[in-house]
A = this chain, B = another copy of it.
C-alpha cells in the first residue's frame, strides 16, 4: 500500500520542522525563499496537495466536528467532550476527537489530519507547547480555508474565532466569599504561579473577596506552586509547611488535588474540618464528591462549556455564507457546591 505524503514525512525527508513545511507550502515570508522553493518542489514531485482542505470543503459538508484537546486523563476535559457530544448529537453532527498530548507538532498534525476532508470545523484547547511557541499558523490556516474554530479553556488572542471561557475570577470569589460569610477571617490560598492564567485569575478572585469584606491580604497566606496539573512530592511538602506555619481558619485551593492533600495535612495536625479550618476548592469532580469530609467546590460546568462550544461552532457552520463574520467570547458561570468541608453561612 502506498503511504500518503504528509507534512510530517516531507519534514522528515528534508530535515526541517513540520511547521516550516506547513508555512513554506503557504508561501509564508517567515521561511527563506530557498527553503520554500525546495519544499514546494518536493511536494510537487510527490504530488502532495496543500489545498486539499479547500477542495474537500467545496465538494461536501461532512457534518462532523473535530475536537483537539491537550490530554485525556483529566476529568474536566472528559466532561467538556461529553457536552460537545450531547449538543452535536441533538443537532445531527458527528464528533471526532484527537489528542495533542500537549505537543505542538502533534497538534499541527492532528489539524492536518482532520482538516483533510474529515471535519467541517474545530473545537480546541491548545497545547502547552503551542502557547509557549506562540505559533498559531495551523489555526489561522484552517480558518483561512473556511473552517471555523472555537477555542475553549486554554485560549489565545489574535485568532479569528469564537471562545468559551470559565469565569475563573468570579468562581474563586464565590468560594472565598462563602468561607468569609461562614465566619472565616484568616483564609489562605493554595494556587499556582501567575504565568498559569487560571492560577492568576483565581488568585485575583480570592483577593477580590477579601477586599469586599475589608480583610487585609497577607502575602504569607498565599502559596504559589509551580505545577497546577499534578501533585508532586515537592508541592506536597510546600502545602504541609504552608498549613503548619500559618494560623488559618480557611483554605481555598485552585484544584482538587491540592485540596485533598490539604485535607490530609489538616486532619494530621489533629484539627477538624470545618470547625477549625474550612476548605473549598476549584473544580467539582469525583475527588471532591467522595472525599471524607466531602469538599465544598466551585463547579466549572465542563459539560455546559462543551455544549456552548459546539453550539457556537454549529451556528457558524450553518450561517448563510454572505453574512459578516463576527467573533464572540462566552463565559460559563461557575457555581458553588456546598458539602461537608465548610460551615453554614452566618445569618445576619
In the complex with contacts A72-B81, A73-B78, A287-B286, A63-B95 CB distance below 8 A: no
Instruction: Count residues of chain A with CB under 8 A from any CB of chain B.
Output: 47
What 0/1 readout, one digit per residue, does chain A (83-116) give for beta carbons within 8 Å of chain B?
Answer: 0010001001011111101000010011001100
Partner of A61, one of B3, B79, B257: B3
Kindly list chain B residues whose C-beta atoms are within 8 Å of the C-beta of A96. Answer: 96-98, 113-114, 118
CA distance A79 to B75 in the complex (A): 12
CA distance A304 to B118 in the complex (A): 29
CB distance B81 to A99 under 8 Å? yes
CB distance B72 to A73 under 8 Å? no
In the complex with contacts A3-B63, A61-B1, A85-B73 CB distance below 8 A: no
In the complex with contacts A98-B95, A292-B263, A73-B63 CB distance below 8 A: no
A348 within 8 A of B: no
Tell me the nearest residue of chain B to A61, going by C-beta: B1
In the complex with contacts A72-B82, A97-B96, A118-B118, A61-B2 CB distance below 8 A: yes
CB distance A98 to B99 under 8 Å? no
CB distance A1 to B81 under 8 Å? no
Copies in the complex: 2
Partner of A99, one of B64, B74, B95: B95
CA distance A118 to B79 in the complex (A): 26
In the complex with contacts A118-B118, A290-B257, A97-B97 CB distance below 8 A: yes
Q: Return A232 CB to nearest CB of chain B, in Å.
A: 14
CB distance A267 to B290 under 8 Å? no
Partner of A109, one of B94, B106, B291: B94
Kindly list chain B residues whose C-beta atoms are within 8 Å of the C-beta of A99. Answer: 81, 85, 95, 97
What 0/1 readout, one digit per residue, does chain A (282-296) give for beta carbons within 8 Å of chain B?
Answer: 000011001110000
Known contacts A85-B99, A94-B109, A97-B99; 18 further A-B pairs (Cβ under 8 A): A1-B61, A2-B60, A6-B63, A8-B92, A64-B113, A72-B81, A73-B78, A73-B82, A74-B78, A75-B75, A81-B99, A89-B106, A94-B113, A96-B114, A117-B117, A257-B290, A264-B292, A291-B292
Q: A-side interface residues toward B, CB under 8 Å? A: 1-4, 6, 8, 60-64, 72-75, 78-79, 81-82, 85, 89, 92, 94-99, 101, 106, 109-110, 113-114, 117-118, 257, 260-261, 263-264, 267, 286-287, 290-292
